[in-house]
Structure 1
Amino acid sequence: MNTLTSIFVMGVVAAGTAAVVPGAADCLEDRAFESVAVTQDGQPRPLLPGTVIRLRIAGGGLHAHAGGNLIAAQVSVEGTHLVVTDLHTADASYGAEQRAQDSWLAEFLGAGPAWTRHDDELLLRVDGTEIRMAGRPESDRPLTETYWLLESSSQPGSTPVPARVPAHLVFQDDELYGTLSCNWLSGRAVVADSTVAVDGLGTTKRACQQEDIMLEIAIFGVLRGEVAFDLDGDRLDLTGPDGRRLHLRAPF
C-alpha cells in the first residue's frame, strides 16, 4: 500500500521577532500550515526523505501529519502556548522509522508548544526543538494525492463519523487507500473527468465497534462501480450509483 507523504504542522517565524497577536485563537483558526524547517538545539533535525509537516487548527480540533498516521487532538490557545488534549492517531502499519517520526510529532504537539506568529509565518517551540512553518495557500485541492478526511455520510440511519480515529481516503496512481475508522481499505480506482471507477476494494479484518461497522457499511455503499465526484476548494463529494454520498474535506 502506498503512503501519502505529507505532514502538517504550524510554524515559521524567527524567535524574538514575532509578537503575540491579540485574539490568538482567531489568528490560528482554520489555517493550514506546512513546515519549512525543523531544528533541535539550533541544528537541523533529520526527518525521513520527502517529509513536509502539515497542520490545521479548526473548530477546537487539530489535525497533523508527518508522512504516516494522521494525528488528531482537541486544542485551545492559552496565552503563548497551545493546550493539546485527547491526542490520538490512526493505527496503520508503517515501518519502524515512520512510526518513530509519527511518535516524535505527537509527543511534540502533546507537550503544548509555545507559539509565535508574524504575518503568514508561525513558529512552534518545545524546549530546544522548533518547527518553522508557512501558511499554505487556500487553493483548490486535486482529487489525487490529497488526504481527504471524511466528515459525514448521507446514508439514512448511519451513525456520525467516530471522532477518535478519523476516516480518510487517498486516490493515487489508479489506486484508492485509506482508513475506515477501524480497518484499512485498498483497491483500484481509475479517475476520469468527473467519475472514478472503483473495484476490488478490500479491508483488514479487525474486530470493530458497532459505530465503526456502520461507518464501513456507509463507505462501501458509495465506493463501488462508477462513483461521481464533485470538487469545491477543499471539499469533495462522492456519489455512488444509487445516489448515496460521502462528504469529505482536505484538512491541510
Structure 2
Amino acid sequence: MTRIGILGSEGRMGRAIAAAIAESDASHAGGVDASGDAMTLAERCDVLVDFTAPAALSANLDAAEAKGCAIVIGTTGLSADDHARIDAAAKRIAVLQTGNTSLGVVMLCALVEKAAAALGKDWDVEIAEMHHRMKVDAPSGTALMLGEAAAKGHGDSLDAVRVSGRDGHTGARETGTIGFSALRGGTVAGDHMVVFAGEGERIELTHRAEDRAIFARGAVRAALWLHDRVPGRYTMNQVLGM
C-alpha cells in the first residue's frame, strides 16, 4: 500500500487530500504544516504531496531527496529558480509538478493545445480565471498551464507572447499574443475560460471547479501513479496516459 504524507496538512487542500486518501487504496502516513518536520515525515512515506508555499519548496525537496521519497508538487506561484530546483531534485527522485491536479483541467489543456494548433494565430486567445479571495498568486497556475498549452499549439514560448493585466491606453491587440485576466472574490474554488476569438465567431472552452475535492482526488491519483517511478520530472498528462 502506498504511504502518502501531506505537506501543508492543516490547509484547506491538506484536509481535502487527507479525506481523499481515506477513500483510496493508499495509506495516510501523516502530515506536517509550516512548523512541522518534513524530514521526519518523509522517513515514513513513499510519496509526499506538497500544497504549501513557494518559500517552503526547497526544504520540502531537501527532505524528499534525503529520504528517497517521491513528491507531488501542487504549489503554485513558482519562480524560474523554483523550477530549476525541481529539475535538480528530479535527477535523484521522482517529481511531479503541476499547476492543477484536476483531471478535467488536464483534459482541457489538451483541447486548448489542439485548438490553438488547428485554428492558428488568426484566432486571438484570451484566458480568464476567477478564484476565492484568499488566493495570493495571479494569474493562477492553471491559467498559466492553459496559456502554455495554447502557446505550444502555436509553436511559441508563453514568455514571448504573454500579456497580463491590461490597463489604460494599451493600443490595438497584437496578433499572436495570449492575454490573461484574473478575478478574485468569495469562495470560488476555481473557474477558467479560454476564449478563441475569430472573425465573426468565438469558441469558449471552460472548466469550473465546484469542490476542492476534485484537486485532492487528482493529487492522490498522481501520488499513486508516481510511487516506484524512476527519478525524473513527470506531468499529470502522463498520469492520464496522454
TM value normalised by structure 2: 0.30
TM value normalised by structure 1: 0.29
> Counting strand residues as a fraction of each chain, which structure ranks higher?
1
> Counting helix residues as a fraction of each chain, which structure ranks higher?
2
